[in-house]
Amino acid sequence: MTPSSQAAPRPGRFITVEGVDGAGKSTHLQWLLGFLQAQQIPVLSTREPGGTELGETLRELLLHHDMALDTEVLLMFASRSEHLRTRILPALEAGQWVVCDRFTDASYAYQGGGRQLGADKIRQLEQWVHPDVQPDLTVFFDVPLDVARERLERSREQDRFEQEGALFFERTRDAYYQRIKADPQRFLVINSGQAIELAREQLMNEFSRWFNRVHPA
């Protein structure tokens, strides 16, 4: 885009945050938001499933009501379609940056991997709902599964995904790594199994390098 006094707002960047339950995403996501705000970046913070009034209603159903796997996947993408249309895309087009707690990588990981649906149906829905929209950056917080489970058990009441067993989360984590292997340039992999100060230092260093590359002073 050519700068001028009449130029449209700078296109926003789309950042997603991923990881298995118990990886510490929420803690580090607040740092990301604070970093961007300190750089005077207009930023929208949102989440999936959810992000809209309809999406939050669907989130309650998805997290706390049993349902068939196909129903679960379709509801995830219904929520995502509304989220994109009413919040994410308008924000990006207005020049805001969007930081989203989970996006379609989570569907590949949780439904495709954890629930063993496979990638093909997820890919078909992805091509229908957002064929031309992908995150500019995905920050993946990795953690040993026994550490993640210990954190969950001492933190809060668990939803129906968090109540799944070890094999489910092994498949989910493996599916995330398949996504990383397929598109390594899009991902920052942060070791969130280490002390929070060390994980934060790694996040700060790697995210700052990416930020300075895409948003030079």
Domain ranges within the chain, ordered by starting residue: 14-214
- For domain 14-214, give the fold: Rossmann fold (3.40.50)
- Angle, alpha carbons 191-14-171 (nearest 5°): 45
Q: Which amino acid is at 217?
A: A
Question: pLDDT tens across 81-128, in order?
Answer: 999 999 999 999 999 999 999 999 999 999 999 999 999 999 999 999
State the Cα–Cα distance between residues 2 and 8, nearest whole angstrom.
Answer: 9
| Residue-averaged pLDDT of the chain | 91
The predicted structure's pLDDT at residue 136: 97
The predicted structure's pLDDT at residue 155: 66
The predicted structure's pLDDT at residue 148: 74
State the Cα–Cα distance between residues 145 and 167, nearest whole angstrom.
Answer: 10
The predicted structure's pLDDT at residue 9: 43
Is residue 174 within 8 Å of residue 113, measured between CB atoms? Answer: yes
pLDDT lower than 70: segments of the chain: 1-10, 155-156
State the Cα–Cα distance between residues 202 and 169, nearest whole angstrom.
Answer: 24
In angstroms, how far is the first alpha carbon of the chain from the final one?
17
The predicted structure's pLDDT at residue 107: 98
